[in-house]
Amino acid sequence: MTTATLSDTIGADMEATIARTTWRYWLALLFAAGMTALGIWAWVQILQDGFGLTGLNTPVMWGSFITNFVFFIGVSHAGTLVSAILYFTKSPIRAGVGRSAEAMTVIAIMTAGLFPIIHLGRAWLGFWLMPYPNQRQLWPNFHSPLIWDVFAISSYVTISALFLYMGMLPDLSSLSRRVRGVRKYVYRVLSLGFSESDGEWALFERAYPIFALVVIPLAVSVHSVVSWDFAMALTPGWHSTIFAPYFVAGAIFSGVAMAIILLSLLRRGYKLQAYIQEKHFDALAKLMLSMSLIMTFVYCTEIFMAFYHGESVEIDLYIWRMTGPSAPLFWSVIFCNSVVPLACFWRKIRFDLRALIAISVLVTIGMWLERYMIVVTSLSHGADPATWGSYFPSFHEILITVGACGWFALWFMVFVKFFPCISISETKQAQVAFSTVPSAGTEDSSEEPHDA
Amino acid sequence: MIIKDNITRRNFIATTSVAAAGAATLTGCRERAIRHIVPWVNPPDDAIPGIPLFYNTICRECTAGCGMSARTREGRVVKLEGNPEHPIGRGALCVRGQAAIEGLYHPERLGGPMLRAQDGSEQSSVTWDAAEAALGDALSRAIDHDAPIYVLTRPEPGALGGLFGAWLTALGQQPDQQISFDPLEPTWTREAGQRTFAASDRPNYRLGRARMLLSIGADFLEDWGSPVEHARGLADMQAGRREGETRFVYVGPRLSLTAAAADRWLSVRPGSEIHLVLGLARYVLEQGGAGVSSLPGPAAASLARKLAGYTPQGTAERTGLDASDITSLGRQLVRARPSLVLGPGRSVAGSNAVALASAVHVLNALTGAIGDTVRWPQRVEETQQGAESELTHLVERARRGRIGVLVVHHTDPLRFGAAFDQFERALEQVDFLAVIGHRLDGLARRANVVLPDHHFLESWSTLETRPGVMGIQQPTMTPLLETKAAADVLIAAARSIERADGLPYGTFAESIHDEHDPQDLQRGGVFEQAPLRVVSLTDDPLPMPLEDASLEGPDDGLALSVFPSLRQTGDGRPADDLLSEIPDPLTLISWSGWVELHPATAATLGLATRDVVRVDAGQRQLELPVYVHPGVREGIAGIPAPFATDLLTSGAQPALGLVSRVSLSKTGAVALLPRSQTTENQAGRELAMTTRELTARGRHVRRLSMYPTPERGAHRWGLVVDLDRCNGCSSCVAACYVENNSAIVGPEETANRRTMNWMRIERFMEGSPEHPDARFMPAMCQQCTNAPCESVCPVYATYHTSDGINGEIYNRCVGTRYCENNCPYQARRFNWYDRPRSERARLALNPDVTVRERGVTEKCTFCIQRIRAGKEQAKIDGKPILDGDITPACAQTCPTGALVFGDLQDPASRVSRLAAGDRAYHLFEELNTIPGVVYLARRRVEIER
């Protein structure tokens, strides 16, 4: 096969994800939109009647909303970070997973970013957290970790979106040449006139690494800042210096798990077995496994530190967390995050996509529960025993959580419908460079493992 | 139609005239409201809108008659405080007094009279003229038919009581047709006083002087006469003591609030209290107590004979105590001079209450307490009062024939349960029932005419609580509604049938106003030292059989102890919202009644907290949730009095608390049982500490910081909470609610832990299960120097004032609730919902404090509005702020002075001196928040066994 025909095949396959719209897609889209609508309905109720509709109460002032916030920030993580790291390590698997991971990042932040607003008692005044000249003659309080959040998240969403967009320029350009009608114009405008001339390619190759370079420290810092929402507080169970690496590791962990789930869905849904290969999943599984080991180490350190520094309030909390009414929660977290991923030590499991998906789903649930545990159990078992309490999400909170998942799925589906979910240009480069000519979707290669 | 494109002269005039007429009409509608925006009683010359005016009056929520100072703004009462010049309350109010304002603005208060139609069908609103005419007609009919006219009132020892007597006389009735109904009065003390000392009036108890106090079930912090005065007395007695200097021992079936304040709580076999008292009396008689030598001969002989059998061993056997307990108690009563024995209180008063009360009197006589800690004032001539008689008088009369008119004034015997079956039957004999009250409930629903009275904060009267203490009840604002003073209604009715001889010519108000000096009115009463009289034991002070209280009901049942509660209202009406929301300090239950059971008893019956049980007292049943805790004796079922009235059997006196046995059976239902705190103890943490624990722990290093000391303004406000003086009475909590416009959330939201109280009483049950030690700790915002809440607020809604207070700007809050998470003291509250208030309840809002919107957090600010007012006043006066000039609502009302407010930066202030003492500590010092609230550890005296 010549390079030109190869290029055409890849382009056609990618175009197909955009052009081919099955009833399954519409059904899924409708389902996601329905979930989103439910969440919006629940939020409107809360806006109308008040926060009493949540399950929150006096010791537990933060609950499922903050859990969702941290969770989706975590999910957002792996995407850009993985993509940027893979870029620098010149990893061949980047071509397959990079784009969707980056898209997942942006969409997850779009979801996460809703929660700080949803969770405000007076959400309609949420813009007061922004630094802008106002009649109150007041800047936000830069001591507050919540303000750090505002900056961290807005920076992260900006850079991630630009990183994603920048990487898509060559693809948009090539798409604009392949499609007709209105789309042609849209893609042409979006491609900013990128014409794939040698000079432009040279510029692109110089500019792209800058974003990739900025994204890595930013990703680390963003989740560190999110963790400081907790670590900076006096609350036992939160007030711990390990929280920043803990949350970053956790974020990558859950992000990788989510990436595995999304990629496998894409691969199946659009028959992209040629591009998203077994070896890619193998690499992600290895990453997930190492993150799981780090998490296990962090759990141990956290508990050790609680006992080591000898503050009875802290010790009480950890014992209560492990043995009290929330013990099932704690042990499910340990099971999902520390025990289940150990299966990835086995090569067989790493190449068994169904097993990987199962593990990833468990890890995703485990990471959600972990955030829930950190937020809720710490608050419900504070310093003053007279104020101990408990919390369970209310119906409205559950609907909003469901809505958030719907929102996430909705945007992801919209994204794959409008943009190539696998980098066309990089795939082409990779194919040429490594001469691993895929059989362009005609043959299901999932039976024979490829070793990377 | 009105605005057309082409405006002609004609339709212009038409349009504007319609608009003008509309405006005029609307103005006319509003006229009344405008007239009442500033509804002064008599517009004072120096009144300035925005500056509060205080009127001294008295509290009528119970019969204690504490002095009250009503803070009014623009002519409306917004807060009730104690009148410092009044000798009973001395500036303090109890939780009921603080909550009294709720009754004034209650949405159910009647705004005009209601009359039942001639055919007896419906009650409907009528004019006052019609109501008075109807009452007049009924009176004249009664007089014509020779049917008696009765007045049934709550205790009114004062001008109003006198007027009722005069009114009956004017109508040609007998004075004994005036019935004073006080179902909760401990009549046994009067009767016992008559037998032992020939003195049936109530003595004054001086708790503050006693070195040894023994309470036989007398819950004097909750009930028993004068809770505020007694709380202060007890705190004075316990204050400044070092280990072992004074003792307070409580004997009763239950660890009540009063028992929790004691050094030791003992419980005896229910009904056997009398043996303990007699055993102690024998011991004191033998060991030569201070009063033994001065006993009159015959009494000494009679006592020696009667007490001989009550040896410590025998007593121990009968009561279930150790003999050593009895000798040790006896030794203390002999040694401590003076001592004081109080009782019996409601929770131990049974069939032998008179004998028990007599035994207590005798014991006091033997220890020399009579004339020292127990003193009888000189009797006053009963000039103003009519000869009041018992309810039975009315019941007897009804049995013999029709009753013409019954006027019921602020009472309702039917609310005291089945005990008043006979009254129910008597009511059937009443031709015309006139009810003077506030709401259309209970007896008022059956009335021929309902005559809504002014609230006590709107009307005149006097109240002679005891000789030498005559409080003047005077209006503090113009009546809110179209109500009319009870006295004036009666006078008008009598005038309408021309039988008003001897009644005041003008209004009742004028007659009282004219009778008193302006200084007395300003002070709120006439207070004198009443001369004392000497009493001595009668020849046979214990004439009655001295036996156990007998308990009716199944032998295998639990002894039912009905105990007084802070939520008890004098007229038996269920507590209003504020009182219901404030949790019972001991069980922390709000909005509900409960049955208290010892863990062992509950285990036997297979019951757990929140299980609903059917309480079966033979004839009567009741369903209540269970609360299991170690503060009640095994084999006892304790029920708070306001929730136990349905169990009262026919003929029972509601004031007696220990009369029956009950059996409990599980219904299978589980109640909500809202509680403000779900934990029982402090989990080994150092919150409410005793001096011993504090010494053992040692003091933390106060200042060890890398950061510079924060800059301070002229003051650093601080609050000292003396845990030794705090008895958990919760009046501070009520004061805080009223002062700061805190919302009331109801039972479900209380159970969801969403109460809006800025201040709470935390209760920790420490000690062993056999010797539980209930510790109370008032907790509010600690006003930290390094406040964790401030640094995390993204929008500066909470900030640090130059006076060291953590201020809160509600309008700036966006509701992240981060501050609440970060507060180790959990002092902040979040507005989960908007809490709409009724039109009337809005009038009670303190205009100095913002009403918070849904979605914002709020918290204690040491009543910053009061601090501001104090500072402004000092500035106007050109003087520095003196210690004590500024007092937050909680400290103002504390009956025991457990809360002291002042400037910690001023080394001479009371707070500084207290904070420098050995007992001072901060909560969670290790967090280095450096709070402005300083706790003083509790001195706890363990009595040697």
CATH number of the domain that A166 lies in? 1.20.1630.10
| Token representation of residue A318 | 């950890």
**B822 vs A235: CB contact, 8 Å cut-off?**
yes
**B832 vs A50: CB contact, 8 Å cut-off?**
yes
Q: How many CB atoms lie within 10 A of CB A30?
A: 11
- Determine contact, residues B379/B309, Cβ cutoff 8 Å: no
Read off the pLDDT of residues B37-91 as tens digits, 9 standing for 90 and up: 555 556 666 677 788 889 999 999 888 889 999 999 888 899 999 999 999 988 9
Q: Quick one: how far is CA B99 from the chain centroid?
A: 9
Does position B544 have pLDDT exceeding 50, yes or no? yes
Question: What pLDDT, on a 0 to 100 scale, did the predictor assign at position B536?
Answer: 87
Rounded Cα–Cα distance for residues B82 and A94 (Å)? 78
Read off the pLDDT of residues B618-640 as tens digits, 9 standing for 90 and up: 778 889 999 998 999 999 999 99
Cα maximum dimension of chain A: 76
Which one-letter DSSP state was computed for residue A338? Answer: I
Choosing among 3.30.930.10, 3.40.228.10, 1.10.3470.10, 3.90.550.10, the CATH entry for B202-377 is 3.40.228.10
Beta bridge partners of A14: none
Question: What pLDDT, on a 0 to 100 scale, did the predictor assign at position B489?
Answer: 92
Question: What pLDDT, on a 0 to 100 scale, did the predictor assign at position A88?
Answer: 82
Rounded Cα–Cα distance for residues B213 and B210 (Å)? 6
Percent helix, strand, coil in chain A, to 5, is: 75, 0, 25
3-state secondary structure of B373: coil
- Could you tell me if A45 lies within 8 Å of chain B, comparing CB atoms? no
Question: What pLDDT, on a 0 to 100 scale, did the predictor assign at position B13?
Answer: 65
Does position B178 have pLDDT exceeding 70, yes or no? yes
- Determine contact, residues A242/A162, Cβ cutoff 8 Å: no
Question: What pLDDT, on a 0 to 100 scale, did the predictor assign at position B2?
Answer: 44
Q: Is the residue at A328 inside a domain?
A: yes
Q: Is the residue at A448 inside a domain?
A: no
**B834 vs A62: CB contact, 8 Å cut-off?**
no
Listed in sequence order, the residues at least 6 apart from B580 whose beta carbon sits closer than 8 Å to its beta carbon are: B567, B574, B590, B591, B747
B925 against B93, higher pLDDT: B93
Does position B410 have pLDDT exceeding 60, yes or no? yes
B-facing residues of A in 46-75 (CB < 8 A) are 49-52, 56-59, 61-62
A contacts of B796 (beta carbons < 8 Å): 138, 140-141
Q: Is the residue at A447 inside a domain?
A: no
B-facing residues of A in 90-119 (CB < 8 A) are 116, 119
Q: How many CB pairs under 8 A join A and B?
A: 159
B contacts of A145 (beta carbons < 8 Å): 792, 818
Q: Enter the ipTM.
A: 0.90
> What does the H/E/C string look like for B382-427?
CCCCCCCECHHHHHHHHHHCCEEEEEEECCCHHHHHHHHHHHHHHH
B contacts of A312 (beta carbons < 8 Å): 684-685
Peptide bond into A140 cis (omega under 30): no
Strands B403-409 and B798-800: unpaired
Choosing among 2.40.40.20, 2.40.50.140, 1.10.10.10, 3.40.1030.10, the CATH entry for B558-670 is 2.40.40.20
The CATH T-level fold of domain B114-181+382-457+486-508 is Rossmann fold (3.40.50)
B contacts of A129 (beta carbons < 8 Å): 794-795, 814
Strands B857-858 and B621-628: unpaired
3-state secondary structure of B807: strand
CATH architecture assigned to B691-936: 2-Layer Sandwich (3.30)
Rounded Cα–Cα distance for residues B238 and B624 (Å)? 36
Between the CA of residue A69 and those of A220, A226, A368, B552, B869, what are the distances in Å?
17, 9, 10, 63, 44
B239 against A145, higher pLDDT: A145
Read off the pLDDT of residues B419-435 as tens digits, 9 standing for 90 and up: 677 788 888 889 999 99
3-state secondary structure of B652: coil
B-facing residues of A in 249-308 (CB < 8 A) are none
Radius of gyration of chain B from its Cα atoms, rounded to whole angstroms: 29
Q: For an interface test with B, give the residue of A136, A144, A396 to mutate (most B CBs within 10 A).
A: A144
Read off the pLDDT of residues B341-384 as tens digits, 9 standing for 90 and up: 998 988 898 888 999 999 999 999 999 999 889 999 887 654 44
Question: What pLDDT, on a 0 to 100 scale, did the predictor assign at position A220?
Answer: 87
- Could you tell me if A132 lies within 8 Å of chain B, comparing CB atoms? no
- Determine contact, residues B795/B813, Cβ cutoff 8 Å: yes
Mean pLDDT of chain A: 86
Where do we find the tokens 């067989």?
A: A348
In the structure, what pLDDT confidence band is assigned to residue B416 with cuts at 50, 70 and 90? Answer: confident
B contacts of A234 (beta carbons < 8 Å): 788, 822, 824, 927
- Could you tell me if A147 lies within 8 Å of chain B, comparing CB atoms? yes
Question: What pLDDT, on a 0 to 100 scale, did the predictor assign at position B189?
Answer: 85
Of A95-109, A380-394, B694-708, which has the strongest mean pLDDT? A380-394
The alpha carbon of residue B714 is apart from the nearest alpha carbon of chain A, in Å, by 25
The alpha carbon of residue B788 is apart from the nearest alpha carbon of chain A, in Å, by 7
Q: Is the residue at A276 inside a domain?
A: yes
Read off the pLDDT of residues B592-604 as tens digits, 9 standing for 90 and up: 999 999 999 999 9
**B683 vs A59: CB contact, 8 Å cut-off?**
no
Domain count along chain A: 1
Rounded Cα–Cα distance for residues B182 and A120 (Å)? 53
E strands in A279-372: none
What pTM was estimated for this model as a whole? Answer: 0.90
H or E element, residue A414: helix A395-418
In the structure, what pLDDT confidence band is assigned to residue A240 with cuts at 50, 70 and 90? Answer: confident
| H-only helix segments in B288-322 | 297-307, 312-319
Rounded Cα–Cα distance for residues B783 and B800 (Å)? 9
Q: For an interface test with A, give the residue of B795, B857, B935 to mutate (most A CBs within 10 A).
A: B795
Cα maximum dimension of chain B: 113
Question: What pLDDT, on a 0 to 100 scale, did the predictor assign at position B762?
Answer: 94
> Which residue in B898, B907, B867 sits closest to B885, CA to CA?
B867
Read off the pLDDT of residues B123-144 as tens digits, 9 standing for 90 and up: 899 999 999 999 999 999 999 9
Alpha-carbon dihedral of residues B434, B436, B441, B443, nearest 10 degrees? Answer: -40
Beta bridge partners of B764: B775
Question: What pLDDT, on a 0 to 100 scale, did the predictor assign at position B384?
Answer: 40
Read off the pLDDT of residues A305-355 as tens digits, 9 standing for 90 and up: 889 888 888 999 999 999 989 999 999 999 999 999 999 999 999 998 999
The alpha carbon of residue A295 is apart from the nearest alpha carbon of chain B, in Å, by 26
Q: How many CB atoms lie within 10 A of CB B735?
A: 30
3-state secondary structure of B272: coil
Query: Which residue type does A142 have?
Result: F
- Determine contact, residues B51/B518, Cβ cutoff 8 Å: no
Does position B269 have pLDDT exceeding 80, yes or no? yes
Q: Is the residue at A452 inside a domain?
A: no
Question: What pLDDT, on a 0 to 100 scale, did the predictor assign at position B44?
Answer: 66
- Could you tell me if A313 lies within 8 Å of chain B, comparing CB atoms? yes
- Could you tell me if A140 lies within 8 Å of chain B, comparing CB atoms? yes
Rounded Cα–Cα distance for residues B453 and B925 (Å)? 54
The alpha carbon of residue B686 is apart from the nearest alpha carbon of chain A, in Å, by 9
Read off the pLDDT of residues B831-843 as tens digits, 9 standing for 90 and up: 999 998 888 888 8
Rounded Cα–Cα distance for residues B919 and B913 (Å)? 11
Residue B531 CB burial class (10 angstroms; 0-12, 13-18, ≥19): exposed
Read off the pLDDT of residues B232-248 as tens digits, 9 standing for 90 and up: 999 888 875 655 678 89
Question: Domain residue spans in chain B?
Answer: 114-181+382-457+486-508, 202-377, 558-670, 691-936
| Token representation of residue B787 | 């406040």
Among the residue ranges A173-187, B224-238, B259-273, the one predicted with the least confidence is A173-187
Percent share of chain A, pLDDT over 90: 46
Does position B942 have pLDDT exceeding 70, yes or no? no
Does position B199 have pLDDT exceeding 60, yes or no? yes
Q: Quick one: how far is CA B159 from the chain centroid?
A: 23
Residue A245 CB burial class (10 angstroms; 0-12, 13-18, ≥19): middle
Does position A275 have pLDDT exceeding 80, yes or no? no
Q: Which structural domain range is residue A60 located in?
A: 3-129+140-437
Listed in sequence order, the residues at least 6 apart from B139 whose beta carbon sits closer than 8 Å to its beta carbon are: B149, B171, B404, B405, B493, B494, B497, B499
- Could you tell me if A389 lies within 8 Å of chain B, comparing CB atoms? yes
Q: For an interface test with A, give the residue of B822, B833, B858 to mutate (most A CBs within 10 A).
A: B822
Percent helix, strand, coil in chain B, to 5, is: 30, 20, 50
